[in-house]
Structure formats: C-alpha cells, structure tokens
Structure 1
Amino acid sequence: MMLGKVIGSIWATQKEEGMKNIKLLLVQPISVEDEPLGQLMIAADRIGAGKGERVIISRGSPARMIFQKNTPIDAVVIGIVDSMEVIKDEDE
C-alpha cells in the first residue's frame, strides 16, 4: 500500500468490459510529509475520493482482487485519509 494525493480525474468513454462504471482518478504518490514521490498513476475508485484528498492505494494483484476476475486494474483507491500521525525517532 502507498499514500497518494488525487490531482484529477480520467474520463474514458471506451473501456474494457470489466471496467464499465469504474471511476478513474489521476493520483500522485506522496511521502508522509506530502512530498511527491515517483510517477503519476491512474487508480480505480469505488469509494468516492475527490481532487485534493490524500488516499491509500493498493497496487498489483491485491488491487485486482477487489474487481471481477479479468478486470485489467493495476491500482485502486482503498481508503481516504482523514488524518495521519507520524512519530519521529528522537535521535533524528
């Protein structure tokens, strides 16, 4: 799992059969300090995340398990982050 920030939506009128009625979001992976990490990704969303929200993303086989057997999904939003607490080591 990883953290991400929703930066937009993707609309595709033509999709694979198993992807009908699945909302697609453009997500920027982020660090716990909200710094961008790596490349943007497209993630499927069934829970209603919106632009600007921090989300929890699952990728690969675990992401596909949420959908029908042959759905070509690589990333999925599995949670919207309400708050987060990071405890820093005192030696840092």
Structure 2
Amino acid sequence: MKICKVVGNVWATRKQACLNNHTLLLVAPYDTETGKTKGETVMAVDVVGAGKGNIVLVNDEGNSARGMLEQPVAGIRTVVCGIVDESLLDGKHRKFH
C-alpha cells in the first residue's frame, strides 16, 4: 500500500459495469515528511468516499484491488481503501484533518 493525496476526479460516462456506483479519483504519492506530492499521478477506484485533498491509503496491486471490489476478472489495478487521519514517523505526529 501507498500513502497518496487525492488530486482530482475522473468522470467516465462509459465504463465497465463493475465501476458503476464508484468514484474514480486521481491520486499522487504523498510524502508525509514534506507534505508534498511526489511521483506519478494514477487513477484509482474509490471504495471509502474520499475526496479531493484527502490523504488516503492506496492499494496498487491488481489481485488485491479486484478482491476488494469482489470483481475477480475486472480491469482494476488501483483502489483507494482508506482515508488517513494521522501519522507518526520518527517521533513526528501529523494530523490530516
């Protein structure tokens, strides 16, 4: 899993049926020390109700992602599976709400 920041939304009027009723988000890896995004932005299926600006847990592995959605043959690789409230790293506590 990765910690990412939601940086945008994606809308698709035509998509696989398994994606119906799910929000598509753009997420970028997030550095909890600097508070900045870094790396490549990717699209993820949201299963927790996250929104732009949220710091989230992202599963970027196809089998696990499809398992979370109970869609074993869907073309899904990346899923937002949690919203991060806070972190603790090297004694530094950081809240995200």
- What is aligned with 2:82? 79
Q: 1:66 aligns with which of 65, 68, 79?
A: 68
1:1-92 aligned at under 5 Å gives the runs 1-33=1-33, 34-60=35-61, 61-67=63-69, 68-87=71-90
SS for the counterpart of 2:13 is: coil
The runs of 5 or more residues in structure 1 that have no matched partner are: none
The structural deviation recorded for 1:80 is 0.3
Query: Taking structure 2 as the reference length, what is the TM-score of the superposition?
Result: 0.82
C-alpha RMSD of matched pairs (Å): 1.3
Structure ID, larger Rg: 1
- Percent identity among equivalent residues? 39
> 4+ runs of 1 displaced by more than 4 Å?
none
Cα distance between partner residues in 1 of 2:5 and 2:59: 13
SS for the counterpart of 1:73 is: coil
SS for the counterpart of 1:78 is: strand
The answer as to whether partners of 1:27 and 1:42 remain within 8 angstroms in 2 is yes
